[in-house]
Structure 1
Amino acid sequence: MSTDTVRAGAAGEAAERRREQHGWYFYDWACSVYSTSVLTVFLGPYLTAVAKHAADADGFVHPLGIPVRAGSFFAYAVSASVIVSIFVMPLAGAAADRSGRKKPLLAVAAYLGAAATTGMFFLDGDRYLLGGLLLIVANASLAVSMVLYNSYLPQIAPPEERDAVSSRGWAFGYAAGSLVLIANLVLFTAHDSFGVSESTAVRICLASAGVWWGAFTLVPLKRLRDRRAPAASAGQPSAHGWRQLAATVRD
Structure 2
Amino acid sequence: MDTKTVRAQAADEAAGLRREQRGWYFYDWACSVYSTSVLTVFLGPYLTSVAESAADADGYVHPLGLPVRAGSFFAYSVSLSVIVAVVLMPLVGAAADRGGRKKPLLGAAAYTGAAATTGMFFLDGDRYLLGGVLLVVANAAQSVASMLYNSYLPQIAPPEDRDAVSSRGWAFGYAAGSLVLVADLVLYSAHGSFGLSETAAVRICLASAGLWWGAFTLVPLRRLRDRHARGERAAGAASPGLRQLAATVRDMRRHPLTLAFLLAYLIYNDGIQTVITQASVYGSEELGLGQSTLITAVLLVQVLAVAGALAMGRLARTYGAKRTILGSLVAWTATLAAGYFLPAKEPVFFFVLACGIGLVLGGSQALSRSLFSHLVPPGKEAEYFSAYELSDRGMSWLGPLLFGLTYQISGSYRSAIISLVAFFVIGFALLARVPVRRAVAAAGNPVPEKI
Task: Report the TM-score range of the alignment, normalised by the length of the smaller protein.
Answer: over 0.9
Match of 1:11 in 2: 11
Q: In structure 2, do the counterparts of structure 1 residues 241 and 10 end up closer, same or farther at CA, with 3 Å as the change threshold?
A: farther
1:99/1:233 contact within 8 Å kept: no
- Cα pair 1:93 1:241 within 8 Å, conserved: no
Question: SS state of the match for residue 238, structure 1?
Answer: coil
Name the SS of the counterpart of 1:107 in structure 2: helix
Matched, 1:158 2:154: no
Alignment match, 2:146: 146
Look up the match of 1:222.
Answer: 222
Look up the equivalent residue of 2:243 and give its one-letter code. W
Q: Where does 1:208-247 land on structure 2 (aligned, <5 Å)? A: 208-230=208-230, 233-239=234-240, 242-245=243-246
Partner of 2:193: 193
- C-alpha distance in structure 1 between counterparts of 2:241 and 2:204, whole Å: 41
Alpha-carbon contact 1:94-1:241 (below 8 Å) kept: no
Query: CA offsets per residue over residues 141-192 of structure 1, 9 Å max, x none?
Result: 1111111001001111111111111111011011001111111111111111
CA distance in 2, matches of 1:247, 1:218: 31
The Cα shift of 1:246 comes to 5.3
Structure 1 residue 245: Cα displacement: 2.6
Question: What amino acid sits opposite 1:19 in the alignment?
Answer: R
The separation in 1 between residues aligned to 2:77 and 2:249, in whole angstroms, is 24
Could you tell me the TM-score, scaled by structure 1's length?
Answer: 0.94
Counterparts in 2 of 1:241 and 1:100: CA distance versus 1, 3 Å: farther
Q: Kindly tell me: are residues 241 and 69 of structure 1, through their superposed partners in 2, closer, same or farther at Cα, counting changes over 3 Å?
A: closer
Q: Secondary structure at the match of 1:237?
A: coil
1:184 and 2:184 matched: yes
Alignment of 1:49 onto 2:49: yes
1:101 corresponds to 2:97: no
Q: Which whole-Å CA distance do the structure 2 matches of 1:5 and 1:229 have between them?
A: 27
Query: 1:117-141 CA deviation, whole Å, 9 max, x = no partner?
Result: 0000000111111100000011111
Q: For residues 177 and 162 of structure 2, what CA distance do their matches in structure 1 show?
A: 22
| Cα shift readout 1:39-69 (whole Å, capped 9, x = no counterpart) | 0110011111111111223322111111212
Q: Distance in 1 between matches of 2:248 and 2:217?
A: 33
TM-score (normalizing by structure 2)? 0.53
CA offset digits 1:188-223 (Å, max 9, x no partner): 111111110000000000001100000000000011
User: Aligned AA for 2:187?
Assistant: L
Residue 74 of structure 1 is matched in structure 2 by: 74
Question: In structure 1, what is the Cα distance between the partners aligned to 2:27 and 2:246?
Answer: 26
Please say if residues 97 and 233 of structure 1, whose CA atoms lie closer than 8 Å, have aligned partners that are also in contact: no
Q: Is the 8 A contact 2:100 2:228 kept in 1?
A: yes
Change over 3 Å in CA distance of 1:49–1:241 after alignment to 2? closer
Letter in structure 2 aligned against 1:178: S
Taking the aligned partners of 1:62 and 1:112, their CA distance within structure 2 comes to 27
The aligned counterpart of 2:344 is none
Cα separation, 2, equivalents of 1:117 and 1:163: 31
Partner of 2:36: 36
Distance 2:166 2:19 in 1: 15
Partner in structure 2 of residue 117 of structure 1: 117
- Give the Å deviation of 1:71: 1.8
CA contact (8 A) 2:54 2:61 kept: yes
Hey, what does 2:20 align to over in structure 1?
20
For residues 234 and 103 of structure 1, what CA distance do their matches in structure 2 show? Answer: 20
Shift of 1:88: 2.1
Q: Which runs of 5+ in 1 are unaligned?
A: none
Cα distance in 1 for residues equivalent to 2:62 and 2:217: 36
The aligned counterpart of 2:61 is 61
Provide structure 2 residue ranges, at least 5 long, that are not aligned to the other structure: 254-258, 260-451
Alpha-carbon spacing, 1:239–1:55, altered in 2? closer, same or farther (3 Å) = closer
Residue 239 (structure 1) shift:
5.0
What is the identity percentage for the equivalent residue pairs of Structure 1 and Structure 2? 76
Deviation at 1:83, TM superposition (A): 2.4
1:238 CA drift (Å): 2.6
Higher relative contact order structure (alpha carbons within 8 Å, sequence separation ≥ 6): 1
Distance 1:108 1:61 in 2: 33
SS of alignment partner, residue 125 of structure 1: coil
Instruction: Write the letter of the residue equivalent to 1:242.
Output: R
State the SS of the aligned residue for 2:226. coil
CA contact (8 A) 1:101 1:227 kept: yes
2:115 and 2:31 mapped to 1: Cα distance?
Answer: 12
- Larger mean CA deviation between 75-84 and 24-33 belongs to 75-84
Q: Does the C-alpha gap of structure 1 residues 213 and 38 become closer, same or farther in structure 2, counting only changes over 3 Å?
A: same
8 A contact 2:89–2:241 mirrored in 1: no
Q: CA–CA distance in 1 between the matches of 2:240 and 2:64? A: 30
Whether the 8 Å CA contact 2:90–2:244 is kept in 1: the answer is no
Which range moves more in the overlay, 79-88 or 5-14?
A: 79-88
